[in-house]
Chain A
């Protein structure tokens, strides 16, 4: 029975390094506009990073902004914008039938780093440690802040899923809708970690932090000259509903979530695993009752690390073979890696393809690595198609977690 319940996306709210709503973000992706710039980080020389510049106080009081976290603020902004975009009244949601499900790669590092820095200014006397530290760093903080802001009394939680989290927020939202636990799911992902030094320092120690004299060219997945990850922040939340509910209220429908899967490598802390990735893609296709050749756009996870990009291309080859009709792109080349928000932002960036019949390109792919030379790559310029029926989006993460979602153009 659950398999027969269809789940659709009816609203999108987001803040990305190159756009704070779907229209401007999509335009940036079609115009080839990077959101990466040079960023000052504590204890380190400047790094390329993707930072957001959204109107934080459009939906949040200054007091709540001061008390809460950056991830909370991005989630509040995105959730409110998604509800508005869905044509629902913010103050009129059915409070106890709405759920908030937000994927996170990590949470609390910004607050912890800031508190320790603050403490260092007071000779490490812990009486100067803030009473806000615990509510800011509990793992449900971003989703919890959304419920406080929007007066939602249904379930909320954050889903810790490394860089697979954006997709998994979406998947969990769909599952809760299918189970009848909620009638409206505000689901997606968020990450504020571009505001820490630790994430950059750790990638640097792993020889996986991107460097380039022009920050807009630092994020270059699948290129021969790629040298690591550009860290970004962002938030993206979808309003998701059961199809019958969306139709009953005459909602516009961005697309239907027809297939999804997530699995585990059980192999390594950081190294990806092409076998499990390809299994994940196949499982999502099976659930969608689709064949690989029916995927029009394949949005890659590709982060710009040497091994990660190679492994993903190997996994894609195992599923898609030498097919030339699948259009392959990469959103991180524009915005960097928005961690917990990445999967959701990448779906959002491709959703308008159902209407504009255009595939956003991959930028900074000047000289494709032969190991990554998939036949359908859309490079530098958008590609116009006769029609776009389906999008597959990959998101993979540390500790070996893989997630794949398939969205179809909505048909009755």
Chain B
């Protein structure tokens, strides 16, 4: 998967979890939780959906890597580029 397709996959997952939010103007440099109503239970949903859809494990010590869109893509790229 490319950076663009990983981004699309993340957007799709977040959209399922917080369907009331408008994700079209996200600043990829800023923390997601500063821009949309995304709490810790939602964050666990993102981790679960990555597991279910892509068989990717995000251990708890890596959760901070999923802070911004860019940092999330950076973190997931090595795990997803072969998919």
Q: Which residues of A contact B (CB under 8 A)?
A: 61-63, 66-67, 122, 127-128, 130-132
Contact = CB atoms under 8 A, between A and B. Distances in A.
Given A63-B37, A67-B41, A128 B18 contact: no
A66 B17 contact: yes
19 contacts: A61-B20, A62-B19, A62-B20, A63-B17, A63-B18, A63-B20, A63-B37, A66-B16, A66-B17, A66-B19, A67-B41, A127-B51, A128-B51, A128-B52, A130-B48, A131-B41, A131-B44, A131-B48, A132-B41
Contacts of B41: 67, 131-132
A128 B20 CA distance: 25
Tell me if A's interface is mostly helix, strand, loop or mixed: helix
A127 B47 CA distance: 11
Nearest to A57: B20
Interface in B1-56: 16-21, 37, 41-42, 44-45, 48, 51-52
A370 to B, nearest CB: 56
Contacts of B42: 63
Given A67-B41, A131-B45, A131-B48, 12 more contacts: A62-B20, A63-B17, A63-B20, A63-B37, A63-B42, A66-B19, A122-B52, A127-B51, A128-B48, A128-B52, A131-B41, A132-B41
A119 to B, nearest CB: 11
A103 to B, nearest CB: 28
Interface of B: 16-21, 37, 41-42, 44-45, 48, 51-52
A68 to B, nearest CB: 11
A61 B37 CA distance: 12
B72 to A, nearest CB: 19
Nearest to B52: A128
A63 B21 CA distance: 9
Contacts of B19: 62-63, 66
- What 5 pairs between A and B have smallest CB-CB spacing? A62-B19, A131-B44, A61-B20, A62-B20, A63-B18
Contacts of B17: 63, 66
Residue among A61, A63, A131, A132 with the highest chain B CB neighbour number at 10 A: A63
Contacts of A131: 41, 44-45, 48
A8 B55 CA distance: 56
Residue among B16, B19, B21 with the highest chain A CB neighbour number at 10 A: B19
A360 to B, nearest CB: 39
A67 B37 CA distance: 13
